[in-house]
């Protein structure tokens, strides 16, 4: 039972807890300051009421002592005429035994009874009781010097009222505190927002705007560290790309010499095998350079293009080559994208579909709500295991268990496609179709009907 209650409370807490750091800090500060303000107000009012009660108790003690002394010195026949003049807002005098009752249990009545007893300086024998009925009421009984009974009837007055302007001032203070919290949290979280924005803008080319190295020392230091890290990563990747390009260039000469020697071989069977190996080496070198370039970004500028015309031209090239590629549905939309990169991504997906599924079908759909276009390339092949849907985008990863090893490539085609998609601000994913086969899905933004 306790575990279920704790789990339910944790679930509600997680449900209502703000997601952003700005909202969380603002909520914590606002609630904390509001509680501190209310606690301070409560303590102030309690101190005020206690001080007022002590002052009124001392006042009643002195006034009652004077009034009792006066009544004690007056002739019995004149005492009744003085009672209205001696009465006050919270107490009055009764010439009689009063109303019997139980001993008082209210703290204020006890304090008043003790104060009156102290004011009378033990000159009279006092008895105290509360009067039955609604509200707090106290009676103190004594006998004057001539034996006449006298009752002090005490009714506590209402608490001191608040000034009419005090609630307005409290609300104004809370508003000022909330505004200060909002400004403070906004100032504190703005550098994080800028850092996240610049980090999100850091694409595969590692070329993003620099953070402003200003503001508080901690913020400026973090900005300098981020800028330096960005420069180091960019230099590291550029160095690796240069190394790969240099290796590729240097490999061209020995590969060419080996081709010449193969052409001069008498053994046609061995020459054919060596020629095939040299061809695969050239392909691997080219794909490696292409992957390095996509990692370092592409210099292609985005352009507006008719998507139907682009895909239709791509399909026509495959059909002319005798490949079973279809593209039936038209959307009549224009998009702003990197045209050559888009052609290469769709081309890689179509090549994979033809290689592993024999046929390829291109389908497109649009979402007017978020202005995105989805390009799907479908095949009728065996598909791939669910756990490998993301692994196939890793460089040099080849899935030989469900794909034909003899048709396997370098393992860089999908990796290059994913990098190009990231550079374009698109999303490239794979999924197994319920009816069989694999679907490569590319989601593009910037659609315009």
- Show the DSSP H helices in 17-160 as ranges: 21-73, 79-86, 107-119
Give SS3 for 409.
Answer: coil
Same domain as 345, residue 284? no
Same domain as 341, residue 250? no
Please state whether beta strands 360-367 and 325-327 pair in parallel, antiparallel, or not at all (unpaired).
parallel
Same domain as 197, residue 74? yes
Neighbours of 358 (CB within 10 A): 12
Is the pLDDT at 403 greater than 50? The verdict is no
Closest CA to 76 of 96, 91, 62: 96
Q: Which two tokens stand for residue 342?
A: 């888009």
- Show the DSSP H helices in 327-405 as ranges: 339-357
Same domain as 226, residue 177? no
Question: Which of 294, 329, 344 is where one domain is finished?
Answer: 294
Is the pLDDT at 442 greater than 90? The verdict is yes
Q: Do the domain assignments include residue 192?
A: yes
CA distance 29 to 17: 14
Which CATH number goes with the domain that contains 270? 1.10.287
pTM over 0.85: no
Q: What is the pLDDT of residue 50?
A: 77
Structural domain for 233, as ranges:
220-294
Same domain as 318, residue 421? yes
Which helix (DSSP H) or strand (DSSP E) does residue 78 occupy? none
Contacts of 272 (CB under 8 A, 6+ apart): none
Is the pLDDT at 414 greater than 90? The verdict is no
Helices and strands: H and E segment counts in the chain: 10, 12
Same domain as 304, residue 288? no
Q: Do the domain assignments include residue 13?
A: no
Q: Do residues 426 and 444 make contact, with C-beta atoms less than 8 angstroms apart? A: yes
Q: Do the domain assignments include residue 8?
A: no
Same domain as 384, residue 254? no
Q: What percent of the chain has pLDDT over 90?
A: 7
Mean pLDDT of the chain: 80
Closest CA to 347 of 384, 310, 320: 310
- Mean pLDDT along residues 97-103: 82
Q: What is the pLDDT of residue 1?
A: 43
Tell me the pLDDT band of 410, cut-offs 50, 70 and 90: low
- pLDDT tens for each residue of 165-200: 877 888 888 888 888 888 888 887 788 778 777 777
Question: Which of 246, 276, 294 is where one domain is finished?
Answer: 294
- pLDDT tens for each residue of 70-80: 988 888 888 88
> What's the Cα-to-Cα distance from 85 to each of 26, 61, 70, 141, rounded to whole Å?
60, 17, 12, 20
- Show the DSSP H helices in 74-156 as ranges: 79-86, 107-119
Q: Across the strands, what pairs with 151?
A: 94, 141
Q: Do the domain assignments include residue 32?
A: yes
Task: Give the count of alpha carbons within 13 A of 415, CB side only.
Answer: 19
Q: Do the domain assignments include residue 206?
A: no
Q: What is the pLDDT of residue 276?
A: 80
Using CB atoms within 10 Å of the CB of residue 20, give its burial: 0 to 12 exposed, 13 to 18 middle, 19+ buried: exposed
Q: Do the domain assignments include residue 140?
A: yes
CA distance 112 to 122: 15
Question: Which of 272, 294, 316 is where one domain is finished?
Answer: 294
Number of folded domains that form the chain: 3
Same domain as 384, residue 285? no
Same domain as 193, residue 144? yes
Q: Do residues 370 and 386 make contact, with C-beta atoms less than 8 angstroms apart? A: no
Range scoring the smallest mean pLDDT among 73-82, 361-370, 392-401, 431-440: 392-401
CA distance 330 to 303: 20
What's CA 236's distance to the chain center, in Å?
34
Q: What is the pLDDT of residue 449?
A: 55
Supply the DSSP symbol for 107: H
Q: Do the domain assignments include residue 2?
A: no
CA distance 375 to 443: 6
């Amino acid at each position: 039972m306790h575990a279920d209650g704790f789990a339910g409370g944790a679930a509600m807490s997680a449900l209502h807890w703000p997601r952003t750091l700005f909202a969380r800090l603002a909520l914590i500060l606002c609630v904390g300051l509001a509680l501190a303000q209310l606690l301070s107000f409560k303590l102030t009012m309690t101190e005020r009421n206690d001080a007022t009660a002590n002052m009124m108790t001392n006042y009643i003690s002195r006034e009652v002592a004077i009034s009792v002394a006066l009544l004690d010195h007056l002739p019995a026949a004149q005492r009744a005429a003085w009672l209205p003049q001696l009465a006050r807002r919270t107490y009055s005098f009764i010439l009689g035994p009063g109303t019997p009752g139980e001993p008082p249990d209210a703290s204020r009545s006890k304090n008043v009874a003790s104060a009156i007893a102290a004011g009378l300086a033990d000159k009279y024998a006092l008895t105290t009781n509360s009067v039955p009925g609604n509200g707090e009421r106290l009676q103190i009984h004594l006998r004057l010097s001539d034996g006449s009974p006298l009752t002090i009837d005490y009714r506590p007055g209402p608490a001191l009222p608040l000034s009419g302007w005090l609630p307005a001032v409290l609300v104004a203070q809370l508003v000022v505190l909330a505004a200060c919290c909002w400004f403070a949290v906004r100032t504190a979280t703005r550098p994080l927002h800028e850092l996240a924005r610049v980090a999100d803008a850091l694409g595969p080319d590692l070329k993003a705007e620099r953070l402003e190295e200003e503001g508080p020392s901690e913020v400026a230091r973090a900005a300098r560290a981020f800028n330096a890290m960005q420069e180091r990563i960019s230099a590291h990747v550029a160095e690796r790309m240069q190394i790969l390009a240099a290796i590729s260039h240097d490999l061209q000469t020995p590969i060419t010499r080996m081709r010449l020697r193969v052409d001069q071989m008498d053994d046609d069977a061995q020459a054919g095998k060596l020629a095939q190996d040299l061809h695969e080496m050239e392909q691997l070198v080219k794909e490696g350079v292409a992957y390095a370039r996509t990692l370092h970004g592409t210099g292609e500028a985005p352009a507006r293009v008719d998507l139907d015309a682009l895909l239709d031209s791509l399909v026509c090239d495959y059909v002319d080559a005798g490949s079973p590629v279809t593209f039936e549905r038209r959307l009549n939309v224009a998009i702003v994208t990197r045209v050559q990169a888009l052609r290469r991504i769709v081309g890689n997906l179509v090549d994979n579909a033809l290689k592993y599924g024999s046929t390829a079908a291109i389908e497109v759909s649009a979402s007017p709500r978020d202005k995105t276009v989805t390009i799907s390339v479908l095949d009728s092949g065996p598909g791939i295991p669910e756990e490998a849907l993301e692994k196939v985008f890793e460089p040099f990863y080849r899935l030989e268990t469900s794909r034909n090893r003899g048709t396997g490539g370098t393992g860089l085609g999908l990796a290059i496609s994913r990098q190009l998609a990231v550079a374009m601000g698109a999303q490239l994913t794979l999924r197994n179709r319920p009816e069989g086969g694999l679907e490569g899905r590319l989601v593009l933004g910037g659609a315009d009907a």
